[in-house]
Amino acid sequence: MLFSVFMLVVMLVTPLANAYAAAPAAASFDTSAASLFSTGGNDTPENQFYSLTTNNFSNLEVVSSKNIFGADHFANKGNVIDANLGNAATWGYLVGGTAWIEVRANSATGGNAFQPGTYAGFVLGDTNIGVGSQIRVTTYLGDTQQESQIVSGSLLVDLGGGKYKGGFWAAQPFNRVRLTATGILGVGTVSVYYAEVFKPKAGPEPACNVYTNLNQPTYGALIGLAHGHLGRWPGHRLQYR
C-alpha cells in the first residue's frame, strides 16, 4: 500500500515537473546584457517600460539647462542615463525658477526614431510633489519640438518610495525627451532618475471561454488614467475571458 502511494505521488509530480521543464520561457529581456543594446525605435523591446539608460541603449547623451555661471542646473546629470536606476540628477528650486534636463538617443534618427504611439516619460521625485513644482515632458526630433504636456500633480503615477512616473503617448516621432520643472510654491528638490519609453504591440488573440492573463511583454497591458496619461496598479492582474 505504501509503495502504491509512493508510485502515485511520483506519477503526479513527474509529469508536472516535465511540463515545467518543457515549457518555453516567457519572452523577457535582460536589460543588463550588452548584447541587447538598442539604438532607437526599431530595436526597442516591445510591451514593457524600457529605460533610456546606457545598459539598454547605445549613443545616449544627457543635457541640462545652465545657470548664469554656466553650470548645470541639474547636479549629477549623468545619473539619469547610467545603469543604476536608483541614481538621480537633482535640482533645488525656488518659486519661479525653471530648469530642464534632456535625454537624447543620438542613434534614433530617420526611420529608427521612436514612432507615434510610443510612450515617452520620466521617473522622478519631488520633495513637494503635487504643490511645489510643475513638471512638463516634451519630445523632440533632433532640435525640432514635437509635443509637450504637463504631467505633474494628479497626472503623476505614484510608484512608492518617493518615486513617480510621468509622461504621455506620443503622436509624433521623437528621439529626445525633456523634463522641465518650474518652482510654484516654496522651495524643494526635483530628482530625475531616468527617462523611459514603452513601445506597444498587439499580442496574440486570446482563446475563447478561458481566462487569459494580459501580462507584459506578451500584451501591452496597462491600466490607464483619464486625460491620456498612464497609470499602473502594481500587484494587480488583468484577465480576459
What tens digit of pLDDT does each residue of 143-157 get? 999 999 999 888 889
Q: Is the pTM of this model over 0.85?
A: no
- Beta-bridged to residue 61, according to DSSP, are 104
DSSP 8-class letter at 27: P
Residue 193: burial class (beta carbons within 10 Å; 0-12, 13-18, 19+): buried
Task: At 126, list the grid cell.
Answer: 519631488
Using 50, 70 and 90 to split pLDDT, how confident is the model at 98?
Answer: very high
CB distance 174 to 120 below 8 Å: yes
So what's the pLDDT on residue 106?
96
Collapse the DSSP code of 217 into the 3-class scheme (helix H, G, I; strand E, B; otherwise coil) and give the result: coil
Domains and CATH numbers, the chain: 34-198 (2.60.120.260)
Residue 202: burial class (beta carbons within 10 Å; 0-12, 13-18, 19+): exposed
User: How many helices (H) and strands (E) in the chain?
Assistant: 1, 15
What tens digit of pLDDT does each residue of 169-221 get? 999 999 999 999 998 777 889 999 999 999 986 666 776 766 666 656 555 55
More confident residue, 16 or 163: 163
For residue 165, how far is the Cα from the chain centroid? 8
Q: Which of 6, 119, 104, 123 is nearest to 63 (CA)?
A: 104
